[in-house]
Amino acid sequence: MSVILEAKDLSKVYGEVNAVNHVSLAVKEGALFGLLGPNGSGKTTMIKMLTGQVRPTSGSATVLGLDVEKDPVGVRAQVGIIPEQETPPSFLTAREYLDFVGAVRKIPDIGEKADWWFDFLEFGDKKNVLCKDLSRGTRQKLMFAQAFVHEPALALIDEPLINFDPIMQDVVKDYLAEYAKKGKTIFISTHILEVAEEICSEFAILHKGNLLHTGPVADLTARDEHLSSFFLSLVRKDRHA
């Protein structure tokens, strides 16, 4: 399978802080890739660089064959993005927001597709509610819908389950797994190791901006090792290095 996302020696420095420190990784088409790390490890900064929202201090990245720094708008036009802080426009209703997304992305039959998402994520009763009045969990559903309504080849999601209740977490996990089985690619960042072990095919571990490991989850399974214990051993070792 072809590489659909690649970072080469990617770094981001804020003052004296190395938020991301010379990270290189590659994600193949059809992968459900998990970027794992404690809070403050650089996961969100990585996603922002990979989607052209933040310019790297050094290094490069390509997404869907596009140079992210040269064509950030082109990248964002093709991928689906769910930020950690969900921010649908406060002055639009949920339905108006999906209609707006459909217009910007030139999605045919956006009405039917939006209705499917309202039904699937069980928030059809909120479609005419202003986004500012939606609960945090409902805003997360709306942001999930806008990221996938155009059926992107690649979706990048920062903490995908953070505001969902246990039932909706199951629905979303199943959707992500099935989406990857169709040959689409999912890139998630999370610090919830149980979720990553359950649904990810590959993973990378970041700690203080440094890449500690990258590889298939199956390698751990073959050694009868759990992702959580492997993660904790690496991070604790790095802390005391």
| Inside any domain, residue 107 | yes
Measure CA 7 to chain center: 15
Q: Are residues 171 and 199 in the same domain?
A: yes
Q: Are 147 and 157 part of one and the same domain? A: no
Q: Which two tokens stand for residue 51?
A: 């989607």
pLDDT for position 191: 87
Q: Are 118 and 82 in contact (CB under 8 A)?
A: no
> What pLDDT does residue 85 have?
74
Q: Measured in whole angstroms, how far is the alpha carbon of residue 160 from the centre of its chain? A: 7
178 in a structural domain: yes
Same-domain pairing of 132 and 208? no
Domain coverage including residue 106: 89-151
Residue 22 lies in a domain: yes
pLDDT in the model for residue 84: 79
Decide: 130 and 160 in contact? Cβ < 8 Å.
no
8's enclosing H/E stretch is strand 3-14
* pLDDT tens, residue order, the chain (241 aa): 799 999 999 999 999 899 999 999 999 999 999 999 998 899 999 999 999 999 999 999 999 999 999 999 999 999 999 987 768 888 999 999 999 999 999 999 999 999 999 999 999 999 999 999 999 999 999 999 999 999 999 999 998 888 899 999 999 999 999 999 999 999 999 988 998 999 999 999 999 999 999 999 999 999 999 999 999 999 998 887 6
Give the per-residue pLDDT at 55: 95
58 and 143 in a single domain? The answer is no
Has residue 222 been placed in a domain?
yes
Is 196 domain-assigned? yes
Is 84 part of any domain? no
Domain end point (choices 115, 131, 151): 151
By the 8 A CB rule, do 75 and 60 touch? no
The tally of domains found in the chain comes to: 2
Residue 165 lies in a domain: yes
CATH for 201: 3.40.50.300
Tokens of 116: 């499917």
Same domain flag for 157 and 235: yes
pTM of the model: 0.93
Can you tell me the distance from the alpha carbon of 131 to that of 17, in angstroms, rounded to the nearest whole number? 35
Q: Is residue 217 part of a domain?
A: yes
Beta strand 185-190 with 154-158 is: parallel
**Residues 162, 233 within the same domain:** yes
Where is the domain boundary, 151, 182, 205? Answer: 151
Residue 237's pLDDT is: 87
Claim to verify: residue 54 and residue 137 sit in the same structural domain: no
Same domain (yes/no): 8, 25 = yes
Pair 108, 198 in one domain: no
pLDDT the model gives residue 214: 96
45, 158: one domain:
yes
Same domain, 75 and 164: yes
Strand partners, 216: 202
Tell me which of 133, 151, 169 is where a domain ends. Answer: 151
Q: Are residues 217 and 235 in the same domain?
A: yes
CA dist., res. 92 & res. 202, Å (int):
37
Q: What pLDDT score does 213 carry?
A: 96
Query: Which of 225, 86, 110 is CA-nearest to residue 163?
Result: 86
